[in-house]
Amino acid sequence: MTKILITGAQGQLAYELEQLAQHSVIALTRAQLDITQYDAVQKAVDTYQPDVVINTAAYTKVDAAEHNSEQAYAVNCLGAKNIALACEKNQIPLLHLSTDYIFDGSKNTPYLETDPASPINIYGKTKWQGEEAVRSHCEKHIILRVSAVFGQHGQNFVKTILRLAQEKETLRVVADQTMCPTPARAIAEALFTIITMPRWGTYHYCGLPAVTWYDFAKRIVQLAKEQMPLHIKELEPITTADFPTAAKRPACSVLDCTQFEKNFGPIRPHWELGLKNVITTLSTS
């Protein structure tokens, strides 16, 4: 049985990995393993001697990162480097997660793995630096770039819209940013597939089809209305300029997943199915 060490165990992706695992899993929370601490990371990897490490730990607060750039850098870059060094020393493969936000969103076709990174916010910049650290320090690595992750556990757009739709009559959502929502459960499944056929490198993985945040919110509300009482009466499309945020966001961060499908099989998820499952789970819990 494969022994997997998972970092960031309280996050939404780590939760799904633990739920789905048919392996021996050591899932460490930030309190149990702070990945910014080089000695602690080395000790954990030396002690547990896993067959593979999955690094889900990250500083994911995109707006807060603009004011906490040191912390974002420490977790997203130095933390990734610490894990890469420990994995290389022990000859253990590393599966590392990254993001569509390493791109600036100005391309009008889906981003390829080979497109140059051009992050426009601190989160994206530190995630890109983390990718580079993994590539430099750990030979046997897979970097999986995902986008707009949602699941039943933790913080995400779906849960925010559901909460606001229960509290408010009107919601305003940006309709000029396009992305591919990705169920955390599908990413967990993809990672378990990767473990069985490690083909080192960087890949894109995200849900189908691409949508704007406004259209995604509309679908969330439509589906949720069938399962729970909502207060919301109107969902208003707005522009990015109408809703200033601390961090800039890419206008279109759709990822091309052809390489993933060629190497690991056509297992890209349709986000609507994942969304229905999450809403059903949340409405009955």
Ligand X SMILES: NC(=O)c1ccc[n+]([C@@H]2O[C@H](COP(=O)([O-])OP(=O)(O)OC[C@H]3O[C@@H](n4cnc5c(N)ncnc54)[C@H](OP(=O)(O)O)[C@@H]3O)[C@@H](O)[C@H]2O)c1
Closest CA to 57 of 12, 102, 117: 12
Q: Of 59, 73, 111, 123, which residue is the catalytic one?
A: 123
Give whichever of 146 and 257 is closer to ligand X, judged by the CB atom.
146
Give whichever of 79 and 183 is closer to ligand X, judged by the CB atom.
79
Burial profile 182-201: b = 16 or more Cβ within 10 angstroms, e = fewer: bbbbbbbbbbbebbeeeeee
Q: What SS3 state is found at 70? A: helix
Give whichever of 165 and 179 is closer to ligand X, judged by the CB atom.
179
| Least distance from ligand X to the Cβ atom of residue 169, Å | 27
Looking at residue 13, the DSSP 8-state letter turns out to be H
Rg (CA), the chain: 19
Q: Are 6 and 54 in contact (CB under 8 A)?
A: yes
Structure tokens at 116: 């140059």
Give whichever of 61 and 225 is closer to ligand X, judged by the CB atom.
61
| Least distance from ligand X to the Cβ atom of residue 146, Å | 5
Give whichever of 83 and 221 is closer to ligand X, judged by the CB atom.
83
| Least distance from ligand X to the Cβ atom of residue 231, Å | 25
| Least distance from ligand X to the Cβ atom of residue 174, Å | 15
In terms of phi and psi (left: phi > 0; alpha: psi -120 to 50; beta: otherwise), the region of 207 is beta
Closest CA to 18 of 56, 45, 48, 58: 56
Q: How far is CA 12 from the centre of its chain?
A: 9
123 counts as catalytic: yes
| Least distance from ligand X to the Cβ atom of residue 229, Å | 27
By DSSP bridging, strand 234-238 and strand 94-99 are unpaired
Write out the residues near ligand X by the rule CB under 6 A: 7-8, 10-13, 30, 33-36, 56-60, 75, 79, 97, 99, 127, 146-149, 154
Q: Which residues are the active-site residues? A: 123
